[in-house]
Amino acid sequence: MTASTLAAAAAERAQHVRQRADRPSQRRSAEQPGSRATVRAALTGVQIREIGPDEGGTLEFRGHASVYEQAYEMWDMFGPYTEIVSAGAGADSLARADLDVPLVLGHDQMRRLARTTTGTLVLAEDDTGLSVYAPALDPNDYDVAYIAPKLRSGLIDEMSFAFRIESGQWSPDYTEYRINRYDIHRGDVAIVGYGANPYTGASMRKPAAAPTNSRARALLEIALAR
């Protein structure tokens, strides 16, 4: 975005937003109206590790669906602005006993790889942001087999998460919105082609002492939102 475009949008926003605590209207991750309001993270620090037959022949996935305290570009009804997810913004939501969040491909709810309610997905906050841990992905699952080589080759290297903003605040000049609390219950964490936050990413490598068998696939490294 250019400085003039950002300034013009901020001026319009300042005239029409009633208070700084109001959430962005028509929030989206691209200029085109109707675009999804997802936040992406380049997949850095993500791992898919081969687990041998003695452990069930599964794949262990670790990554980040969001990187906190990093500004990224978003759009609302007035134009572009920068957005930041505050450290700890998901603490209350992640502490829910009934937390229901799947790990999916491309925000497609029919392409689930793991889910918190089944004990196959663990979400937590750390010094980087929203961490994602799936301890036992099935390498025979069609979607796992589909995405693993793309992550390994770098064809896919970003993540995103879908959530609801519960509280936040605009900067005094209305050029930046900070998300202070979000709700991810019944949202998702997703491996995507492109998202909104460019700070998460992924790579894949084979561990030095990985066991070899027909079910073992590879090791990924990935790092995330909405």
pTM of the model: 0.80
Please give the chain's pLDDT, 226 residues, in tens: 689 999 999 999 999 999 999 999 999 988 888 777 777 666 555 556 666 665 557 888 888 899 999 999 999 999 999 999 999 999 999 999 999 999 999 999 999 999 999 999 999 999 999 999 999 889 899 999 998 778 777 788 788 899 999 999 999 999 999 999 999 999 999 988 864 455 544 433 333 333 333 222 222 333 223 3
Torsion angle defined by CA atoms of residues 99, 92, 48 and 221, in that order, rounded to the nearest 10 degrees: 150
Is residue 46 within 8 A of residue 191, CB to CB? The reply is: no
* Residue 72, number of CB atoms within 10 A of its CB: 20
CA distance 178 to 24: 10
